[in-house]
Amino acid sequence: MFTLRWTPTARGQFDELQASARRTRGTRARTGRAKSSPQEGLFGQVAKTLRLLAADPRHPGLRTHAYHSLENPFDAGAKVFEAYAQHRTPGAYRLFWCYGPGAGEVSVLAITPHP
């Protein structure tokens, strides 16, 4: 297991997704709808991706690969990786992460729609 560390940007993005999912869940409960909202689904997918990342950054479901457009904030020579939270979806969400700064740590750099 890896410990997840967060950049302020990633923490803000995660909190925003979570707040949106909670708002729509509350609205859905008040209106009596059974089907979950897209915001709830997206948050669930991101949360699952984070669980898989903490358990095994090389998990096949993450489709992890190196991402060359971002620089590692802890070591300029180290790689930044991209993991899929969604696949085959317009504007699919991705998690950008790197190993470190300490041993057994994974730093989440950003959670964003695919550029």
Task: Quote the pLDDT of residue 67.
Answer: 94
- Identify the CA nearest to 44 among candidates 8, 18, 81: 18
* pTM metric for this prediction: 0.89
- Identify the CA nearest to 24 among candidates 11, 33, 13: 33
pLDDT tens per residue, range 8-28: 999 999 999 999 999 998 888
Biggest CA–CA distance in the chain, Å, is 53
Delimit the domains of the chain by residue range: 3-113
The domain defined by 3-113 folds into: YaeB-like fold (3.30.2310)
Q: Tokens 């358990």 appear where?
A: 55
Q: What percent of the chain has pLDDT over 90?
A: 74
Q: Where are the beta strands (DSSP E) in the chain?
A: 3-6, 65-67, 80-84, 93-99, 105-113
